A and B are shown apart, each in its own frame.
Chain A
Amino acid sequence: MRHRHILLLGLSLFFLPLSAMAEDEEAAAPRAGLRVDAVPGVMQKAVDDFIRPGYRDLLEGTETLAEAAHTLCEKPSGETLGDVQMSFDEVVQQWSTIEIVRVGPVIEGNRFERFLFFPDRKSTGLKQVQRILATNDETATTAESLKGKSVAAQGLGALEYVLYGTGAEVLPTEKNGFRCRYGAAIADNLKAVAGELHAEWEKPDGIQSAWKNPGPDNPVYRDGKEAATELLGILVHGVESIRDQRLRPFYAGIIKGEPDKGHPKMAIYWRSGNTMPALSANFSALQALFNASGMDALLPDGNRDMISAINYLLQANVDDLDEIDLPLEEAIANDEQRGRLNRILQNTNNVLQRLNLDFGAAIGLSSGFSFADGD
């Protein structure tokens, strides 16, 4: 049988009649407008109060992590391993905050993937990391040579496997062992990428200036509308990414009345127990960017309800995620914890609509943000 189509027999997929839909309707309510004069201030706050601090924190966190990793190799012990693990958790938090910004220098030169390669759907990255460990590949023990390898072998996922994967028990005892030195090289690589990102955003005439001063000669935004659209795009794409790449792969919600059985090992950072803390940091970051930039200033008056609703939904997700404390497999099987996951999915869809359609429409994107998203 070579048929690949689905002929929807039994389902009457007839056209709806014109009479049922009304003819030549007038357009909906008059369009709201973007307060263009507010854009430079909002962009300045987004850059100075969220993006630059985010990359600065990430650089500091990766510096601490790299130092701790080298100390572990020199003086292996339960304590020095604990220091590395704590620093790793901290970097996961910092990255999960600033990773919502998927525009600018981070998507150049494969920096995003070099910092975090996820999802690793066919375990290609995992296999590469395991091969490096199995063969004691010395070319993976300096950040410089690691840079030339697969992106999947040089980021947070690789380091998590080094710290928590099969064979990690050698770390507190083996001085300058291969596994530790590979881990330290990954940490150095993370520090290098974070350093590049920090430097790009700190250049006075670089991207921060372009973001703060939309105008005809600007290489990024020709006008305030383009800048405001991109800022909203960070939020819309951020929520979409969390839902589609981070939540649904391990728990898809209620399907045909039945809760998804879940795939705990599809969850990000499941080995280190950072899944919920990372998701919580993602939603906190969206809320932080939304409020720190003062995006409400872009709206015409009278939209306080929308601002409150967006804040409420993002905060509700943070609160629910912070209460999910069982191991993932148990959390999915537990009524109370699964209920929170269901609510998180609902609230995520809700906040996506509010940002994409409501906020988008309010700043003059008549059909929401995603419609003008290019194709």
Chain B
Amino acid sequence: MRLTSHGWIPVLVTGMTGAKKRTGQFGSFCMAYQNTSNQTLIDRRAFLTMAGATWAATLAPQAAFALSRTDAVYASAFMAPDGSYGVATLTEEGAIIERVPLPARAHGMTWSPVTNRAVAFARRPGTYAMIFAPDDSIEPIIITSVEGRHFYGHGCFSANGRLLYATENDFAGNRGMIGVYDGTNGFARIGEFPSYGIGPHDMTLSADGHMLVVANGGIETHPDFGRTKLNLDHMEPSLALIDTATGALIERHAMPDNLRQLSTRHVDIDADGKVWFACQYEGARNDLPPLAGSFARGEDIRFLELPEETALALANYVGAIAVNRRDGLVGLTSPKGGVEVTIDAKTGRVVSQESLADAAGIAASPHGFVSSSYSGSFGETKSRVAWDQHIIRIGKL
């Protein structure tokens, strides 16, 4: 499969179930709520054991800051030169303002503008998430995944900021789940519902706040096998729209049969409410599959057809995607290809393509995007950290 010209490819999607097949899941939501009692002490012990004395010792008292916390507009997880992990807030220019150490590697983050709470999720198959306020108005809160679940590294807040949703793995049942946490009650886990797929990864909230958009990567993993991908020969990637009120499936888009090894991993929403998704291809390395696309609710997915030069540069692997709603742009990064690509959301055409070795995260900036790298660059600034795969914007544009 070689794609050579610009523009859009409409794709007939066979796996879309549509609203007609909506099934209520509220029952399981309530059941899970009842099951979450009496485990605080166990989890606390488990967490402190995992975190270890070394991590606890790194917690330092508050001190004076060279930069005001109000300058913080981005946050990202990182690895320090000594191999320890943390999360940092940064200025518009990419200078680090504050850091907080973490017990293990984090991955994705999310932020609620309503409550000003940010969350860093452990990288799969991690078991913690840390909630903090970029202005330090609260002490950070650590939550741990319940028994039989681990985090996948992403999540998002409800529109009012009261609920936190996290993608999780029910590894015994080999099914993706969305854990629901109550931000008004110390982020207690109050329920869960299915992600309607295997291996949910990134997730975001629709513009109206009524739907969760989940990228089910389709790859089976189990903590007993570390990060090994267990089903590359029979993957089931899909994109699911889920009703936040009921946990019911609204619609699900499976990848076409010839792209079953195209793992749908990351999502964002544009100004028109359209969902943009980015993929990582597990098939033959000399295939040239589509790597990103978009769809509006009720429509089929449309893959972005990239010029061959761009498709090759992305190396069948998009690590992060971001939308700049104001500018109508979509940004993609590939650490494997060492490239950052900007797309016009309306036309699907490539606006820019720049080399960026070890390209990591990307997020909307006042003019286009800011991107980071494993080797420490963040915009024009270089720091002695390895930035993880994602950046979130925690300030308005």
Contacts and interface: CB of A to CB of B under 8 A. Distances in A.
Interface of A: 1-9, 11-28, 31, 102, 107-109, 119, 121-122, 216-222, 226, 237, 240-241, 244-245, 255-256, 353, 357, 366-367, 371-375
Nearest to A9: B139
A28 B284 contact: no
What are the 8 closest A-B residue pairs judged by CB atoms, nearest first? Answer: A15-B98, A367-B386, A219-B284, A14-B62, A25-B384, A17-B63, A366-B375, A4-B189
B218 interface: no
Given A12-B59, A16-B99, A237-B228, A27 B188 contact: no
Contacts of A9: 139
A270 B186 CA distance: 44
Given A12-B62, A244-B226, A26 B335 contact: no
Interface string B268-296: 00000000000010001111000000000
Given A2-B188, A27-B376, A256-B49, 4 more contacts: A5-B142, A108-B232, A122-B172, A375-B201
Contacts of A15: 62, 89, 98-100, 136
B162 interface: no
Interface in B152-203: 153, 172, 181, 185-190, 201
Given A14-B60, A31-B375, A5 B188 contact: yes
Contact of B96 (A5, A14, A23, A220): A23
Tell me what chain A mostly uses at the interface: helix, strand, loop, or mixed.
loop
Nearest to A356: B83
Contacts of B97: 18
Contact of B37 (A1, A20, A119): A1
Given A24-B95, A372-B358, A373-B227, A353 B83 contact: yes
B228 A3 contact: no
Nearest to B130: A13
Given A1-B37, A21-B99, A226-B285, A14 B384 contact: no
A7 B83 contact: no
Nearest to A103: B228
Contacts of A16: 60, 63, 98-101
A28 B82 CA distance: 11
B29 interface: no
Interface stretch (B15-23, B40-48, B325-333, B345-353): B40-48
Interface stretch (B64-72, B236-244, B249-257): B64-72
A62 B211 CA distance: 54
B140 interface: yes
18 contacts: A3-B40, A5-B187, A6-B40, A6-B47, A9-B139, A15-B89, A16-B63, A16-B101, A18-B65, A20-B63, A21-B99, A25-B383, A122-B172, A237-B228, A353-B83, A357-B83, A371-B79, A372-B336
